[in-house]
A = this chain, B = another copy of it.
Amino acid sequence: MRVLLVGAGGVGTAITRIAARRRFLEHMTVADHDRSRAESAVATLGERGDRFAALRLDASDPAAVRAALAEHRCDVLLNATDPRFVMPLFEAALAEGVHYLDMAMSLSRPHPSRPYEECGVKLGDEQFERSADWEAAGRLALVGMGVEPGLSDVFARYASDELFDEIDELGIRDGADLTVEGYDFAPSFSIWTTIEECLNPPVVYEEERGWFTTAPFSEPEVFDFPEGIGPVECVNVEHEEVLLVPRWLKARRVTFKYGLGDEFIGVLRTLHKLGLDRTAPVTVRSGLGEAEVSPRDVVAACLPDPAGLGERMRGKTCAGTWVKGSKDGRPREVYLYHVVDNQWSMREYGSQAVVWQTAINPVAALELVARGTWGGSGVLGPEAMPPRPFLDLLGEYGAPWGIREQ
C-alpha cells in the first residue's frame, strides 16, 4: 500500500513511527505545509525511514494534493491535519480516485436560533452527503478512524455484535490522570482546540428523539476509569461517535462524555465568562502602539506548548465505550477500553500518550484495508467494519485493549 500522509504534527509524526514497523506499508509520502516538520518526521525514523519521503504541501490546495497523489502513485490519502482541512482533502481524494481515511469529521455549525436544543449542520454531514459519489467511484472514505472517534466505534460494534442483544445506552468515556511536572496547569493537548470542542453545543442521540444538543458541560457525572486512573468528572462534549454509531447500530441513547475534570471545566467556564475564549480581536497596547489580538491566541501564548511536554508528562490516558443493556434476558454493563501509559509510549516511540493512542488506530485500519479484511465503498464509519480483526491486531501492535464487566 502506498499512502499520502497529510500533516506531520504530533499525530502525523507518531503515525510514521508506528507505520515504519509494519510490513504492509510499501511507501508513505509525509506532507506538511511546513516542509521542515515533514523532513524531521522522516529523519527521526533513521534506518526504518527508507520507505518514507517528505514533501511540502498546502492541504487547502486541491490541485496540489491531487498532483502529490498522482506523482507518488498513492492508493490512499491519510488525513492527519486539523478539521478545517477535512473537506478539501476528502474532495481531492475522491477526484483523484483514491481511498481516504481521517480521524475527525467535517465541522458542525450550531443551529441559528436554538443552538442548545437543536442541531444545525452536524459533524460529518458534509461528508455523508457525498457518500453516493464515493460508492459510484468504488472507493472507500473511512471517516473518524482515530481513537475517539475510531477505536471507540469499533468497541461499539463489537459490543453490539457479541456482547448484547439490546443496548440501552452506549456512552463513550474519555479520561486521564496525566500531569505535567513543573507546571500548575499545562494541558496535554491544544487549549485552542479544546476551547473549540468544549464550547460547541454537545450532541446527544436518543432513539425517539433523534439527534439534539444541550448546553456546554451538561450532565456532569463522575466516571471511574480503569488501570489506576480512578474517578474523573466527565461532561457532554460534541463528538463524532454520537453521529456515527446510530447510523449502523441500534442503541436507545448515545452520548460522549469527556473527562475534563472539575478543574479544567472551571478554567473553560471562566475563560468563556470573561470573553477570553473569543477569536474576534480586541485592541490593546503593545510594544509598538495599539495592536489587534485574539484573546484565545493570548491564552494559548501564556501556556506551554503541549507538543514539547511529553518528557515531563506522567500518567495514563484512557479511551473507551461504556455499554448498558441486556444479554440473554439479563441486564449487562461493560466498559471496553484502551489505556496508554505516557512513560511507555515515550520510551517505545518517543511520542506522548494522547498523540500515540490516536495514531495507532489509522495505521491498524490501513493494514486491514491492505489485507482486504476491511473494505467497501462509500463514506463509512468504523462501526461499518468487522470489529474482531481490528481488536486482535491491536494486541499484535503491543497495545492491547481491556474489558470491565460492571
For the complex formed by this chain, how many copies does it contain in all? 2
Residues 151-173 of A, flagged 1 when their CB comes within 8 A of B and 0 if not, give 00000000000000000000000
**Which of B184, B267, B273, B298 is in CB contact (< 8 Å) with A282?**
B298
Bound together, the chains give a CA A299 to CA B299 distance in angstroms of 10
A285: chain B residues within 8 A (beta carbon)? 293-294, 297
Tell me if B293 and A302 are in contact (CB < 8 A): no
List the B side residues contacting A298 at CB < 8 Å.
276, 282, 284, 293, 295, 298
Question: With A270-B266, A293-B293 given, is the CB distance from A299 to B287 under 8 Å?
Answer: no
Most-contacted residue by chain B among A266, A270, A281 (CB, 10 A): A270
User: Nearest-CB distance from A110 to chain B (Å)?
Assistant: 19
> Which chain A residues in 169-200 approach chain B with CB under 8 Å?
184-185
CB distance from A366 to the nearest CB of B (A): 36
- With contacts A266-B270, A270-B266 known, is A284 near B294, CB below 8 A? yes
- Given A276-B276, A291-B291, A291-B293, the answer on whether A284 and B270 have CB atoms closer than 8 Å is no
**Partner pick for A276 among B278, B286, B297, B302, CB 8 A cutoff:** B302
How near does chain B come to A246, taking the closest CB pair, in angstroms?
35
What CA separation (Å) do A249 and B270 show in the bound complex? 42
Q: Is the CB of B282 within 8 A of A274?
A: no
User: Which residues in chain A, 242-293, are within 8 Å of chain B measured between CB atoms?
Assistant: 266-267, 270-271, 273-276, 278, 281-288, 291-293
Other than A185-B273, A266-B266, A293-B293, give 20 A-B pairs with Cβ distance below 8 A.
A184-B273, A270-B271, A274-B302, A275-B302, A276-B276, A276-B298, A278-B302, A284-B293, A284-B294, A284-B297, A284-B298, A284-B301, A285-B294, A285-B297, A286-B292, A288-B292, A291-B293, A293-B298, A295-B298, A295-B301
Could you list some 20 contacts between A and B, CB below 8 A? A184-B273, A266-B270, A267-B273, A270-B271, A274-B302, A282-B298, A282-B301, A282-B302, A284-B293, A284-B294, A284-B298, A285-B297, A286-B286, A286-B292, A287-B291, A288-B288, A291-B291, A293-B293, A293-B298, A295-B301
